[in-house]
Amino acid sequence: MDHNKLALPVGTTLDRFIMRKQEDFPYATGELSQLLRDIALAAKIVNREINRSGLIDIAGAYGSQNVQGEDQQKLDVIANIRFIRALRNGGEVCTIISEEDDEMIQTGNNQGKYVVAIDPLDGSSNIDVNVSIGTIFSIYRRVSPTGREGTAADCLQPGTHQVAAGYVIYGSSTMMVYTTGNGVNGFTYEHSLGEFFLSHPDIQTPQTGNIYSINEGSSDSFAPGVAAFVQHCKNQNFSARYIGSLVADFHRNLLKGGIYIYPATAKAPNGKLRLMYECNPLAFIVEQAGGKSSNGLQRTMEIEPKLPHERCPVFIGSKDLVEQAEALIAKANQPKAEEAKEKMVKEIPVKVAVAK
């Protein structure tokens, strides 16, 4: 009898995977690896809190609003505390941008080489109804000298400067998915062992798909190009799938193929999602998986951020679908561009030669 069959391997843990991949960071000496482990530790703690939220009165509204003007849930506040505490205690991060805090958070780790932008618990409106929610994070190398507090320049870097990004989804299973610019890998949490194990190596999103995810309750205020793309999806008999938790919608489309859209609307003229800790990290992930992300006109990761909580529209998912959306938006904008050009030409003063 083969004794090995009595104790089959349990798989590769997140910690072991990170250590093996440390050679991907020639400029680092273990700090980024430690930072990823700090995030994973906080995610385990938040996962525990979520799983018992209905039993110990930590579900429901907290009674205040965050900087976005959104009602905070108790778990929003708890998750924010857990992640900030883990990042501060880990020692690798000098400054944090969090959805739940108005200002940049200085950790006191002035020797830290990294900056983190984070949405500690995405999908607040779904917390009380047991729908999947998540955490989204983005990691940058600081650009200011170490030995002092992080600066706005450290925090407001374009997405192309990200060194790592990821998300955690708390659903039927808890998963952590991340990239360091060398592909995308997913890890599933094994509760009895308290470890994340590699379950989705080298994730590649389909080139196209038949799922579109958008809140059609705002369809009356969609721009013509967005409306045209939504109608195109319907004409192709696509499936409409919209959970209302960004991480859950994105995760499904990443694995199955599809497009997630949150455009500019009358209610949210600049879009609703935040560039630094929602759009940029997911754009990094989807591009590493073979997909695409844009604001309809420009690659998401090339947008130059001006504010920590800046919003932007987003079209993210399978490459073919994003490009189709961009093409219809460009086509709809063409008459406006030509009209503006004609108006500019008419307004150019004409010099008339006067005979002497």
Distance CA 81, CA 154 (A): 22
Query: Which residue type is seen at 300?
Result: T
How much is the CA Rg of the chain, to the nearest whole Å? 23
Is 150 known as a binding-site position? Answer: no
Largest CA distance in the chain: 113
Is 320 known as a binding-site position? Answer: no
Is 215 known as a binding-site position? Answer: yes
Is 122 known as a binding-site position? Answer: yes
Is 119 known as a binding-site position? Answer: yes
Is 55 known as a binding-site position? Answer: no
Distance CA 122, CA 336 (A): 36
Is 278 known as a binding-site position? Answer: yes
Distance CA 302, CA 307 (A): 15
Sign of CA dihedral 311, 312, 318, 321: positive
Is 123 known as a binding-site position? Answer: yes
Q: For residue 349, how far is the Cα from the chain centroid?
A: 48
Residue 132: both structure tokens together: 């999947």
Sign of CA dihedral 273, 278, 281, 282: negative
Report the candidate in 295, 328, 324, 298 with the shortest Cα–Cα distance to residue 228.
328
Q: Which residues are annotated as a binding site?
A: 99, 119, 121-125, 215, 242, 272, 278
Q: Which residues are annotated as a binding site for Mg(2+)?
A: 99, 119, 121-122, 278
Q: Which residues are annotated as a binding site for substrate?
A: 122-125, 215, 242, 272
